Amino acid sequence: MQKTNNNNLTWFDSLISRKDRERLHGHQGAVFWFTGLSSSGKSTIAHLVERELHKMGCSTYVFDGDNVRHGLCSDLSFSPAARRENIRRIGEMVKLFVDAGIIVLTAFISPYRSDRDSVRSLFADGEFFEIYVECPAEVCEGRDQKGVYKRARAGEIKNFTGISAPYEAPENPELIIRSNELSVEEAVACAMQLVRENNIIVTS
């Protein structure tokens, strides 16, 4: 057990180690963090990658931006401070899932580089993989089926990334997927190659 100075809380170490859990799953715990503008294809790619991993017998979970804001982060707005808190909460939740030996895929705009770097700092080397789904804003706007870009341009949605709020592109992501140049199938193949190259799944 590890004591902290935070309200006399004590961290209790599980009787089952992370390595035990990973042996049970047959793969390492890791997070593949998809970031990019709204309608860039993050969620679509992340869910299709999860389906491929599931077919291989992997234990997975996708944290989707809209889904999380229905529950865990339903009390947050889209102000810069609220966005940071949103990503902070997700980072801590993802850390628990990775400790459980799960392969986590996230699909969040996560517009601020410092917030993504803060999440990365929660993990050891080889556990966190940033995937930048790059797509020009005009292409994303043309794909938008929910009408959020139109509403943002009309001033109905405040602090909308790419319109009235900034997006800070990753400087050194593990993978860049240019979704306006690749088919969905090609994008998924790129992400799966990243999984294979980093030996996340035990093949023996």
Residue in the block written with tokens 């803060």: 118
Contact (CB, 8 A) for 102 and 58: no
Task: Please check whether residue 102 is in contact with residue 61, taking contact to mean a CB–CB distance below 8 angstroms.
Answer: yes
Say whether 110 is catalytic. yes
| CA separation, residue 169 to residues 53, 109, 142, 164 (Å) | 27, 10, 20, 16
Contacts of 190 (CB under 8 A, 6+ apart): 175, 177, 182
Interatomic CA distance for residues 196 and 61, integer angstroms:
18
Given the residues 110, 118, 179, 183, the one annotated as active site: 110
With contact defined as beta carbons under 8 Å apart, do 112 and 168 qualify? yes
Provide the total of helices (H) and of strands (E) in the chain, helices listed first: 8, 7
Catalytically annotated residues? 110
